[in-house]
Amino acid sequence: MTIPAQHPATRAVSESQHETSELMMPQHANALGHVFGGVILGMMDTTAAVAAFRHARNACVTVSIDRVDFREPIHVGDLVIMKASVNFTGRTSMEIGVRVEAEDMISGRRRHTNSCYLTFVAVDRNGRPMPIPQVVPETPDELRRFAAAKERRRRRLEERNEEGK
């Protein structure tokens, strides 16, 4: 299967980046006023999906979420900022990195609360994987993230092969 004519063979990281934010309210939190991890995971998945759709310009599905460590709590009243970028692409899949920051709305202080890597696959109308443009890293940070993502992909594939034995 080939990439449709309207899709370029490559796409720069900057073309699909996405940033969003949401004010954390009481319905997002537990009795301690700490935002539920599941709320943050849902926001991360949605933010990453926008970057994936922008990159593929096609429907995409989440196929994996790497380990997520919550470094410190996010509180009711914090503004949660999510930043997503395509780090690496395979033939049909892509790794999206999401950085989560929490901003105290009174002091303006921002803290990095966690990061995560999600893998998405572009799919056609029948749900079958389809080719995507290759990502082209341009900045030193993008090149560093690309190399790290390539290594994570190698390890994921190695683990999957081991599980299949």
Rounded-to-integer distance, Cα 31 and Cα 40, Å: 17
Domain segments of the chain as ranges: 10-163
Q: Cβ–Cβ contacts within 10 Å for residue 25, how many?
A: 10
Global pTM?
A: 0.91
Among residues 65, 42, 62, which one has the least CA distance to residue 53? 62
Q: In percent, how much of the chain has pLDDT > 70?
A: 96
Q: What is the largest CA-CA distance in the chain?
A: 54
* pLDDT digits 0-9 by tens, 81-128: 999 999 999 999 999 999 999 999 999 999 999 999 999 999 999 999
Strand 134-136 to strand 10-12: parallel, antiparallel, or no bridges (unpaired)?
Answer: parallel
Find the mean pLDDT for residues 16-22: 98
Which residues does residue 19 pair with via DSSP β-bridges, in sequence order? Answer: 83
What dotted CATH number matches 10-163? 3.10.129.10
